[in-house]
Structure 1
Amino acid sequence: MAKCMVAIFIGFILLIVGCQQETKDTNAAKTNVQTTLDTTKAKLAKLINLSVFKPVHVKYQYTFIDNSGQNERLSVPGPSDNYLQAVLYFDTVTFDSLQKRYHTIEYTSPGYGYQEFDFDWLDATAKEELHKSDTSYHGHRDYFFGLGPTGKLWFLNNKVLLMKSSN
């Protein structure tokens, strides 16, 4: 009987000590924001249309904000948001063709400023060229890259800066 009481007492002590142990959440809050900085043309081609004017090189940042409610962060799901910033580098022939196509389209100036295209991740050469942009130039809306109504373009020398947002 004494052995049984000792076993119960030890079990009770272990239960109390076990319940007082601080539990650490190994599943820390997962963020719903994913940002990718990449130079792969094939991956960018899944986001925009690169078939009409094919760049020789690309660099882009894509941010996806998952508001689908698939994690504990959101109690009410909503539409997901995404943001794209890119620089497309073209050979001279393709870039000249691109500019000619844009200059044949009648459009009103969208009134963009170069500051909108001053991406944090742009290299120093592109930033310098952007900052020296003609002050009378106000960018272009997108007609060939499939960016939709939120697509914005800024032409530099054999480069196109573009941005798009889903909201």
Structure 2
Amino acid sequence: MKRPLIGIMLILMLACKNQEPPAAQAEAVPPLQPHMGMAISEDPAKLKQWLRLEQYPPVHVVYQWNGRNTSGMEAALYYDEKTYGAILNAYMGAGFPKGNYSKEQFAFAWLDSAQYAELQYSKPDYTGNPDIFLGTGGKGMLWFLDKKILLKVKP
């Protein structure tokens, strides 16, 4: 009678020794910080730290950036009809400066399917425009869509 009891205890002791440590003891992965890589945001207040949005304030923004500066920033700026018209008038007044960009440069991985489709159906002869109002210091490339502007800042 003692032998089966000792055998069971021995099996239980061996089973307890072979268990893996609980998940809480595993090394914790640090949360993603903006300075660690590109982050996507919809916070217009943060975007205002990097771009001049006061003259033509967007109604919505989505952007990807490195957390430190505008280098490599990608953004979609959404405007109401009145503000979008004012931007177009400003470009007309400036002689509508032309860019030499391709739509592939604005095919951001994070665009939703409707935005991507709108970009792909852009006029074939359209080559974008340089930034003249966002304060990117000559590094901003713009692609105008319907009441939205895609922005890419050169690194």
Aligned-partner Cα distance in 2 for 1:149–1:58? 21
Task: Quickly say closer, same or farther: Cα 1:81–1:153, change in 2 above 3 A.
Answer: closer
Task: Quickly say closer, same or farther: Cα 1:108–1:43, change in 2 above 3 A.
Answer: closer
Residue equivalent to 1:54: 57
Which residues in structure 2 correspond to 1:118-133 (within 5 Å)? 118-133=107-122
Residue equivalent to 1:138: 127
Dislocated runs of 4+, deviation >4 Å: none
Residue equivalent to 1:103: 92
TM-score with structure 1 setting the length:
0.68
Q: Displacement of 1:62 after TM fit? A: 0.2
Residue equivalent to 1:157: 146
Q: Is the 8 A contact 2:38 2:65 kept in 1?
A: yes
Percent sequence identity over aligned pairs: 31
Q: How many residues align?
A: 127
Amino acid across the alignment from 2:146: N
Q: More strand by proportion, 1 or 2?
A: 1
Residue equivalent to 2:37: 34
Q: Is 156-165 or 31-40 further displaced after alignment?
A: 31-40
Task: Quickly say closer, same or farther: Cα 1:46–1:137, change in 2 above 3 A.
Answer: same
CA RMSD for the aligned pairs? 2.6
Which residues in structure 2 correspond to 1:3-82 (within 5 Å)? 33-64=36-67, 82=71
Give the gaps of 5 or more residues in structure 1. 1-25, 66-79
Task: Quickly say closer, same or farther: Cα 1:81–1:45, change in 2 above 3 A.
Answer: closer
Residue equivalent to 2:14: none
TM-score with structure 2 setting the length:
0.73
Q: Displacement of 1:33 after TM fit? A: 3.7
Aligned-partner Cα distance in 2 for 1:81–1:105? 24
Amino acid across the alignment from 1:40: D
Aligned-partner Cα distance in 2 for 1:143–1:82? 17
Aligned-partner Cα distance in 1 for 2:81–2:109? 26
